[in-house]
């Protein structure tokens, strides 16, 4: 049975979340997420923009991969923390994604369906 529940992060059915992004978080990436979350919420450290961007991208990917929309509040908190540094350029995000790939924190997503992302972008333009 297909769930028609619409996610808050993206305006698509929750069952399509795992197909939305080109990457999935690896087991090694999940451990890295846990390390960064511990640094923020247990050790009360201020993370650099680079680490916040890494965590944000990993969390967004993890949310889509697992359909764990309960993690969206943490993603929003990480995004708010990163805003104090200003905006993030597209080239910087590409560098961070490349770094996460090189460190085996993310891998290609075999479920990826580019048509879903295209539909979202078309709706945004209308």
- N-to-C CA span, the chain: 31
Q: What is the total count of domains within the chain?
A: 1
Q: What is the mean pLDDT of the chain?
A: 91
Residue 89: domain span: 26-105
pLDDT at 3: 58
Residue 5 domain flag: no
Q: Which of 47, 48, 57 is nearest to 25 (CA)?
A: 57
Mean pLDDT on 95-123? 93
> What is the length of the chain?
126
Q: Return d(Cα 106, Cα 23) in angstroms, integer.
A: 6
Contacts (Cβ under 8 Å, ≥6 apart) of 78:
40, 52, 55, 56, 59
pLDDT, one tens digit per residue, over 70-87 is: 889 999 999 999 999 987
Residue 110 domain flag: no
Residue 45 domain flag: yes
Residue 122 tokens read as: 């078309």
Mean pLDDT on 10-34? 94
Grade residue 120 by pLDDT with cuts at 50, 70 and 90.
confident
* Residue 13: CB atoms within 10 Å: 15
Verdict on whether the full-model pTM lies above 0.75:
yes
Grade residue 36 by pLDDT with cuts at 50, 70 and 90.
very high
- Upper half-sphere CA count for residue 50 (Cβ side, 13 Å): 5
pLDDT at 125: 65
């Amino acid at each position: 049975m297909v769930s028609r529940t619409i996610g808050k992060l993206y305006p698509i059915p929750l069952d399509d979340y795992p197909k939305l992004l080109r990457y999935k978080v690896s087991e090694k990436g999940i451990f890295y997420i846990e390390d960064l979350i511990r640094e923020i919420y247990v050790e009360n450290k201020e993370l650099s923009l680079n680490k916040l961007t890494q965590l944000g991208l990993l969390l967004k990917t993890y949310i889509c991969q697992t359909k764990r929309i309960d993690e969206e509040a943490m993603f929003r908190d990480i995004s708010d923390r990163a805003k104090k540094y200003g905006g993030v350029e597209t080239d910087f995000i590409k560098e961070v994604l490349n770094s996460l790939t090189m460190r085996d924190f993310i891998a290609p997503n075999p479920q990826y369906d580019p048509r879903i992302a295209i539909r979202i972008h078309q709706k945004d333009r209308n």
